[in-house]
């Protein structure tokens, strides 16, 4: 048990999927895991542990933004011995060839700042995904016939962004999409020597202004969860 996670020792699997929304964690656990049991409810951040094809898996919410994810990822790694963390979440597309419902696998994650900035100081550390997970996820997506894109994303530290010039520069440099958590997840994975990947479903588009209706989001996110689970145990 930690300050933010009430799970008992042994209740958390070595493989953890991390959606931002705790209710999405509940949906994913009940939909994809066998014998899923709730192992955390502290501060309303739900976590569930069950099995997928016989493999122990925990699906635990991270909250929104890098500071929130940093709390849970730190405790999961340090106190519960988690070895693989895969973010499953939504993102906004930043390239014309990326469509709504497509899946983005974040090879790298650029950012203006992260909770780790104080450690790196003047160093512009380049956080990236675990290559084994990345390759396995790309193979899993192609096997499922999912439209998948592999490349760099941008982890923003604000949701209501008022920097159109920054977005234009990201687009110009080929950034595939924007979200709010992956850069810090990759920083922590590097620090602790564990595996991490962000598997993201495009829910809206910064160029076309399309958006996936809320009612369609859960059904559209199923491929993302299957890809993440397959990659974790490839």
The annotation status of 63 as a binding-site residue, yes or no, is no
Is 161 among the catalytic positions? Answer: no
The annotation status of 181 as a binding-site residue, yes or no, is yes
224 phi/psi in degrees, rounded to 5: -60, -45
* C-alpha distances out from residue 200 to 31, 52, 68, 114, 224, Å: 18, 20, 18, 19, 7
The annotation status of 180 as a binding-site residue, yes or no, is yes
The annotation status of 204 as a binding-site residue, yes or no, is yes
The annotation status of 70 as a binding-site residue, yes or no, is no
- Tell me the C-alpha distance between 16 and 187, whole Å: 17
Q: Are 154 and 161 in contact (CB under 8 A)?
A: no
- Tell me the C-alpha distance between 5 and 39, whole Å: 9
Give the active site residue among 34, 204, 216, 223: 204
The annotation status of 179 as a binding-site residue, yes or no, is yes
The annotation status of 163 as a binding-site residue, yes or no, is no
Pick out the residues of the known binding site.
Answer: 4, 20, 24, 43, 87-90, 179-181, 203-204
Q: Which residues are annotated as a binding site for a purine D-ribonucleoside?
A: 4, 179-181, 203-204
Active-site positions?
Answer: 204
Residues placed in the known binding site for phosphate: 20, 24, 43, 87-90
């Amino acid at each position: 048990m930690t300050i933010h996670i009430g799970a008992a020792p042994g209740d958390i699997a070595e493989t953890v999927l991390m959606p931002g929304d705790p209710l999405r964690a509940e949906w994913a656990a009940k939909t994809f895991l066998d014998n899923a049991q709730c192992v955390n409810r502290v501060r309303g951040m739900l976590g569930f542990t069950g099995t997928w094809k016989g493999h122990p898996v925990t699906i635990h919410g991270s909250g929104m933004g890098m500071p929130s994810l940093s709390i849970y990822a730190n405790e999961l790694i340090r106190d519960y011995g988690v070895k693989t963390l895969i973010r499953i979440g939504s993102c906004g597309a930043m390239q014309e060839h990326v469509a709504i419902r497509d899946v983005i696998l974040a090879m790298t994650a650029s950012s203006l700042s992260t909770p780790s900035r104080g450690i790196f100081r003047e160093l512009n550390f380049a956080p990236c995904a675990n290559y084994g997970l990345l390759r396995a996820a790309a193979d899993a997506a192609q096997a499922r016939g999912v439209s998948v894109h592999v490349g760099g994303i941008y982890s923003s530290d604000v949701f209501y962004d008022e920097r159109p010039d920054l977005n234009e520069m990201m687009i110009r440099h080929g950034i595939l999409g924007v979200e709010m958590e992956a850069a810090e997840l990759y920083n922590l994975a590097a620090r602790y020597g564990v595996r991490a990947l962000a598997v993201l479903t495009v829910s809206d588009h910064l160029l076309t202004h399309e958006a996936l209706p809320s009612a369609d989001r859960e059904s559209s996110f199923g491929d993302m969860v299957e890809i993440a689970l397959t990659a974790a145990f490839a």
